[in-house]
Every structure is written in structure tokens, then in C-alpha cells.
Copies of this chain bind each other. A is one copy, B any other.
Amino acid sequence: MSTKTEEFPAIQPGASLIIAWQIKNKRALVVGGGAVAAGRLSALLNANALVTLVAPSSNLSPEVASRIADVSLTTPSSEGATPSLTYIDRVFAGESDLEGMEMVLTAIDEIGLSSRICEMCRTRRIPVNVADVPPECDFYFGSIVRRGPLQIMVSTGGKGPRIANRVRRAIEGTLPDRVGDAIESVGTLRSELRKVANGKDKATIERRMDWMVRVCDKWSLAELAEMDERMRQEVLDGWEDNVAKGYWDVNAGVLGKAASALGLGKCPARDSPDGKASRCPFVLTSSGFLLGLTAGVVATAAVMRRWN
């Protein structure tokens, strides 16, 4: 039985358990108003949390001050899922500040007070993060890339935060500019498909999933981001005959054909539909080849003409 172990990826200890915590519409407390607190505050508000920030107004970073001044955040909304910020202008007051909180983040200079807050949270089993004090953190933050619905977190488990930032920048440079729009496009296509093919039987569900997969795999992320109402309709027209149309199937105009002929969109070296055509080795090398060929012909012709 122990030979079976070889079939599966080996356990590689030393990782973190990276998770997407559900803080939407839940109350979270930020203690402190400096630069670190500003980052915590953004992360919580982006995740639609109901944030209370406790810090003396004499001690606010410009970013925290600007969030507090932002009426779209501080005016209570009757709609659900709207992030909100309640500001309390004083130092942390004790246990009463933890009432109803589902998460607590402290970013203050007073180490003793931080430790006491951490202890109170742990007694109440409220997840807590004390900035810069790892043993007092139930969780850490990492370097995040955000593109609309897409989030990418880069973590080195604290071993190389600067490298984490470099990896983050490298990823940012690699992502198609509108990858967030690509994800929104897929979402819209899926919901439109459900209107066209609304069967709830197993066969229809499976055919829908299969068709969506085949369509998505024919489009690069950059192409998906460009999918507008017209293209979506043409793609959906393929459903009846179970045809999965790609980007060039619905954009076969003159420009499309020219681009296609130049090799954009069908670079043989790309191993995924998501290579950037402008960085495609085939396109680059062949452009270089044509340029060099021309230069060679012109130069040699000129030189040989002089010789003769």
C-alpha cells in the first residue's frame, strides 16, 4: 500500500494555508490610523466589510483621513453588501470595543496594548492580526494583485517580502490588461447561455458546461475581454449546432484576416491561448527575419553592383 504514495504529489510542509476569508457584511475593527492601518482599512473595505476604526484624530495618516472624509463610505446604506466605515476619535477603550466584531486588526506603536488586545480577542475567539508581531497574528496579509473580480496573492511566508513584490510585479506585467473584463465576459456569456438553454436536466447542464468550456478554451483572455454584445450573440448562435466559435470566427473582417495572416493569434510557439501576440517568439523572430532579409538583399545588391 505504501507504494501508492508515489502516485500523488508529495506533501511539502512549510506552506501557509491561503484562504479567502468571508468578511462581507461582517463587522471588523481596525485599531490605529497610520500607514499600516490604511492598508488594512482598504483591504477590509474592498472586501465589503463593515469597518470600525478607532484612533485619535491627531494621529491619522492622510489616507485614513481621506477615507473618513469619504461620504460614500461613511453614510450608512440601506442596500446590503456595501462596505462602510465608522470612525471613533479616541484610543482603544477596552473590551467594549470588541463587542460584535468578527475580526480585529491592530496597527499601533504600543506593544503592550497590542498584546492585551490580542489576548482579549483570543479569549473571545475573534481572529486577530497585530501588525509586525507574528506570534500575535492568527493570519498574515500578503502582496495582492487586483483586476476587478480577479485577485492574486503572493506570499513567501515572510521569507522574502521584496521578492514577493517582484513576483507580484512580474505577474502584473504578464496579465492581459483587461483580464478582469475577461472574467466578467465569461460570467455574462454564462448567464446569457442559461437564458437560451434553460433546461435543468442533467443532460442540458452537462452540454452547457461542455460548450462553455470549449468556447472559453478558444478565446485568449485578451480576446474574452474584448467580447462585446455583438460577438457574444454570434458565439451564442453556435449553441444550437453545438459549435464553439472562437475570436477569429466572429471577427473575420479585413482587419481580422490581416492580423491572422501576420500570425497574430496563431503563433505556433504559444502553448496556451493566453500568450501576448506582441511577445510571441514566432512573430518577433519572423519580423526580425523579414527585416534582416530586406537589409541583406539591399546591402548585397548595392555592394555587388559597385563591384561590377
Contact = CB atoms under 8 A, between A and B. Distances in A.
A118 interface: no
B170 A152 contact: no
A197 interface: no
B20 A17 contact: yes
Given A13-B48, A296-B292, A153 B150 contact: no
Nearest to A134: B22
Interface residues on A, range: 35 or more
A187 B14 CA distance: 14
Interface in A56-102: 62-63, 65-67, 69-71, 73, 81-83
A17 to B, nearest CB: 4
Nearest to A82: B13
Interface stretch (A198-206, A232-240, A258-266, A271-279): A271-279
Contacts of A285: 284-285, 287-288, 291
Interface in A145-176: 146, 148-157, 159-160, 162-164, 166-167, 169-171, 173-175
Interface stretch (A1-9, A106-114, A247-255): A1-9
B22 A16 contact: yes
A169 B272 contact: yes
Nearest to A149: B159
A134 to B, nearest CB: 8
Number of copies of this protein chain within its complex: 2
Contacts of A186: 159-160, 162-163
Contacts of A162: 186, 212-213, 216
A149 B49 CA distance: 30
A212 to B, nearest CB: 8
Given A48-B13, A66-B5, A284 B288 contact: yes
A243 interface: no
A133 interface: no
A299 interface: yes
A155 B150 contact: yes
Contacts of A63: 7-8
Given A139-B21, A167-B152, A272-B170, A15 B300 contact: no
A141 interface: yes
B154 A152 contact: yes
A186 B71 CA distance: 45
Contacts of A213: 162
B5 A69 contact: yes
Contacts of A196: none
Contact of A152 (B65, B152, B184): B152
B173 A171 contact: no
9 contacts: A7-B66, A14-B149, A15-B146, A17-B47, A19-B141, A22-B137, A151-B154, A159-B183, A286-B288
Given A19-B139, A21-B21, A171-B174, 9 more contacts: A2-B71, A12-B46, A17-B21, A18-B19, A19-B142, A20-B140, A173-B272, A292-B295, A308-B308
